[in-house]
Every structure is written in structure tokens, then in C-alpha cells.
Amino acid sequence: MLVNCPRCGFSQPKDRYCASCGVDMELYRPAGVPIWKKILKSPILHVSLVFVMVLVSILYVRQKQREELRARVEYLRGGPLLVERGKKPVQIDASSEAKEQLAPPQVAAAADGAKKNLEVTNASGELPAGSLAARSATSNPAGPASTGNPNPAAFPAKINVYYMEVETATLNSWIEESKASNQIRQFDDVLTGPLLQVKQKIRAAKGLKLLQKIDLNISTPGAPAEWFAGTHKGSDPESEMGFFSSLVMGDSRDGLIRGEIEVQRAFRDPNDVAKTMERISYGGPFELASGQGFFMRGLLPRKFATDFEEETHPDAYLTIFKSRNYREGQTEFTLILDFDTTSPQAR
């Protein structure tokens, strides 16, 4: 019977000693595999390394997003925009005699501090990264003012930004009137489009509540206006809830008002604290005739309704979460842009 040497593998007839290497085959015990070799060959190590690499990649991406958000918030807070926090929403009484004579700028003056002033001058420096104006300048280096024969009569442009609580029936009637423009767009639950005779509608609407107002003054086409409205903790920009908004106005030709708006919604579902902040952007280009405004409906879903802690310092429009009519679906949160351009002759 043949046996194999446990040391050198030589095959020979059964004997105590190996004819090739001379080892005592009965007493020989091979050396154990080094522990480091066992570890290197372990599948647990391989799986752990893959997991660590994935985790590090996720943490790196989140850190970059946090830094970008912090830089964006700091720009919106400390850049060329001056923001004053509003105090109380204002109920506009349809039967009031003052309402018949109240133009939208005066509505803001009656808001008892709910007005915010944002001044945007001729932007000659670098555009903020990621802004609509920066993307526009990248795709069209010459800028919107250098194409064709722009009509400078539309600048400076004053845009009144209204955060409003509007009765659902009233808002639906407005939307029906606007459908003929073929510019009504649906993004998830958010509806956007032109609003006909916006000033008259704001004056005449019953039960309309002005929650907050922001004034934008844009001096030249392509000058970006960016602002944030929401909570103001200050310690962690990534935890701020609200709307990051950006508006770029194009040149005016053929009597039309052109531009682009983007609103990023950042809110957390209070009923599911395990979820991260939900960030979704809405908006797009618009082309409006004289007297038309622009509306965005559905930006603030009712599932986000919550009571804020004292240190968050929420802006005035977030008081809509306390509205019973809003919670029950009788009213809608609506963002409305009202454009007021002034010609050089009028100035």
C-alpha cells in the first residue's frame, strides 16, 4: 500500500520514514496557516471592506451636499439681499371700503410688518453657483440682454411676491380662466401658470389672506434675485425648512414679460421623523402678457403641517399651518408673482 509524505508529498510503500525527505511521517505535524493569511482569505473581511467603502462614499456625498447648502444659505442671508422677518398675516376684508382702493403695494404696507424688502442691483460680479442666472449665463455667454433687440422699457422691474392663503373654490376659478393660455403645468401636486388680471383678482377675492410679501427690484435682464423664506435656526443650515427661491427676468419684447423661476421646497414630514428632509424643486420659464401674474399652487402640502419650536423663528407665511380652513382643505397655499415694470418715460 502506498502512502504520501505529509511534508513533501512523496509517494512510497507504507513506512515510518519518508524515502525522499527523511521525515518521521507518524510524528510529523504540519505548521498551521498564519493568522494573517486566514484573515486575508476570509470573506467576512471582503464584505466588511466593501461596506466601509460604501459608507465612506455616502458620508462624503452628504458632507458635500451639506457644505453646498450651507454656502447657499449664507449667500441668501448675507449676500446682496436684505431680509426683514415678517410678523403677522393680514386678513383682507372684501367688504372693506379701503380694499377697493388698495393696490398690491399698499396691501403689503397694511401687513403690519409682514413685508420683506429685497433690493437687487445691477449684478456685475460673479453669479452664485447653481443659480438660474448662472446656468443661463453658461448656456448663453452673451447674456439675455445681448440677444436680438431687447426693449429696455421693462426695466427696472418691480416684482411683488405674495405668499397667500386662498379659498379653494376661488383659486379653481382663477385656474379655469387661465387654461386658455396653454401655459398651465402640473408637477406632481404643484400647479403653475399665468394668472389673468392679477391685481384685480387680489383686490376682489373674498376671504383671501396675505401671509407674507416680498418686494424684488431688478435693474437689468439676467440679474438674479434669490431669497429664502422659512425657519431661521442659524446653527445648522441643512435643517432649515422653507423655500429657496430664484428668479431671473429676461428682456421684454412684443409687450411680453419673460423670465424663469425656481422654488426648492425643503420640509420634513412631522409624522415620520425617521425620514430625511424632502427637497424638491419646481418652476420653469414663463411668458406673460401685460397685467398677468404667475401662480404656484400646492407648494406646501398639508402633511408638513406642524408646530415649530421657539428657536426656529418661522417666517409669517408658515402660520398657515395653524389655519383650520387650510388643514381641512377649504383653502390653498399659493405663491403669486405680480409684475410691475416702469418705462424710462414714466420714470
Query: Using an 8 Å Cβ cutoff, are 339 and 162 in contact?
Result: no
pLDDT tens digits along 203-243: 888 889 999 999 998 888 888 889 999 999 877 777 889 99
Grid coordinates standing for 104? 398690491
Calculate mean pLDDT across residues 127-155: 41
* Cβ-Cβ contacts under 8 Å for 216 (sequence gap 6 or more): 118, 120, 158, 159, 160, 161, 225, 227, 247
For residue 341, pLDDT beyond 70: no
DSSP 46-64: HHHHHHHHHHHHHHHHHHH
So what's the pLDDT on residue 61? Answer: 84
For residue 252, pLDDT beyond 80: no
* Residue with the larger pLDDT of the pair 234 and 102: 234
Calculate mean pLDDT across residues 35-51: 83
* Residue with the larger pLDDT of the pair 2 and 246: 246
Q: Which of 108-117, 271-280, 309-318 shows the highest mean pLDDT?
A: 309-318
* Cβ-Cβ contacts under 8 Å for 1 (sequence gap 6 or more): 13, 14
* Cβ-Cβ contacts under 8 Å for 324 (sequence gap 6 or more): none
The beta strands (E) that lie in the chain are given as 2-4, 11-13, 90-91, 115-120, 157-167, 185-187, 190-195, 209-218, 224-230, 242-249, 257-267, 278-288, 293-297, 331-341
The percentage of residues in the chain with a pLDDT greater than 90, rounded to a whole number, is 29
